[in-house]
Amino acid sequence: MHFIGAGPGAADLITVRGQQLLARCGVCLYPGSLTPTDLLAHCPPGARLVDTADLTLDDIVDTLVQACRDGHDVARLCSGDPAVYSAVAEQMRRLDAADVPYDVTPGVPAFSAAAAVLGRELTVPTVGQSLVLTRAQARSTSMPDGEELATFAKSGTTLALHLAVNRVEQVVDELLPHYGADCPAAVVAKATQPGETVLRGTLGDIAGQVRDAGVNRAAMIFVGRVLAAENFPDSFLYSPGRERHAPGDPYCENGGQPH
């Protein structure tokens, strides 16, 4: 039983390991609304393909367990990376209870693909060295206490919001008092997929751009000064003034040990 990160959408952005596992699995469960048909072409001929879009958690787990007990190698494709908003935790919990072993293969996460589309590093020296991955409250599980957008916004750190584009006005309203209307913002919808849409602006105008473009699903929202950073110092990583063989230097390629 293999949980496999399918990546952000483009079929060639699955990892080599993920593709190799997919090619040997006789059963593959996949999220139909998010998985391109080109990706499913990696499955072996005659593989049983199960679209989970209309299945409940019980249906999915029952299918996984039965396929494993029937002796099949089973792939459970997860959009993006299984570590983030993939709903694998509850599937793992039930597989543990059923005594079904599994492994996890990471994938390219949506925020990483979207940042690549924007052509931006999200950790820029002296501008922003932290990134908060979060979402907005909507028709979904409630957010834990202390994880409100305003709480994160107080730090001024860069935000990457999943599952929030349909509530973009709410997001803007909550962030404006902390970042200001001139703070750079961007939205990338369907990153690496057909129909990819890129919107760049500020907190003051990004909600209007989203509505005008008709973006309503599969989108990342970014907010932070790193999105427009220009006059920042070079990273110390490659500075000629840094001792490259200092013991304990976490950036030293040989671990700080003598040659």
Beta strands in 15-102 (DSSP E): 27-30, 48-51, 74-78
pLDDT band at 42 (very low <50, low <70, confident <90, very high): very high
- CA distances to 43, 103, 110, 190, 227 from 115, in Å: 29, 28, 9, 12, 9
Q: C-alpha angle 222/179/124, rounded to 5°? A: 55
Predicted confidence (pLDDT) at residue 246 exceeds the cutoff of 60: yes
CA distance 134 to 111: 11
Number of Cβ within a 10 Å radius of residue 245: 13
Average pLDDT in the 119-141 region? 86
Convert the pLDDT of each residue in 176-233 to its tens digit.
999 999 999 999 999 998 889 999 999 999 999 999 999 988 899 999 999 999 988 7
Which pLDDT score is estimated for 248?
Answer: 66
SS3 call for 232: coil
Residue range 54-78: mean pLDDT, rounded: 96
CA dihedral angle for residue 40, residue 43, residue 46, residue 51, rounded to 10 degrees: -40
The SS3 of residue 69 is helix
Task: Please name each of the domains of the chain with its CATH number.
Answer: 2-105 (3.40.1010.10), 110-228 (3.30.950.10)
- The three-state secondary structure class of 193 is coil
